[in-house]
Amino acid sequence: MSVKSKTFFHFRNPDEEISWDAPLVQHTCTFEVGEAPHKRRCRNKVVVGGPYCYIHRLIQQHLVIKPSTDGHGRGLFAVDPSKPANAIIFAHGKDVAKYEGVTISEDQKDALYGPKESDTGPYALEVGRGANSRIVDAATDRSAASMVNHRVNARTNARFTETGKIKVKEDKNIRNGQEIFVNYGNAYTFHENDNSTNRNKRKF
What residues from 24 to 63 belong to the interface with Zn ion (CB under 5 A)?
29, 31, 42, 44, 53, 56
Residue 51 CA to residue 48 CA, distance in Å, equals 9
Nearer to Zn ion, 51 or 164 (CB): 51
CB nearer to Zn ion: pick between 42 and 102: 42
We find the least distance from the C-beta atom of residue 55 to Zn ion, in angstroms, to be 6
User: Is the separation of the CB atoms in 201 and 105 below 8 Å?
Assistant: no
Report the alpha-carbon distance of residue 53 to residue 56 in Å, rounded: 5
CA distance 86 to 175: 6
Provide DSSP, 89-106: EE-TT-EEEE--SEEE-H
Number of residues forming the site for Zn ion (CB under 5 A): 6
- The nearer residue to Zn ion, 57 or 150, going by C-beta atoms, is 57
Q: Please say which residue, 57 or 109, places its beta carbon nearer to Zn ion.
A: 57
Min CB(27)–Zn ion separation in Å:
10
Report residue 113 CA to chain centroid gap: 18
Per CB under 5 A, residues contacting Zn ion are 29, 31, 42, 44, 53, 56
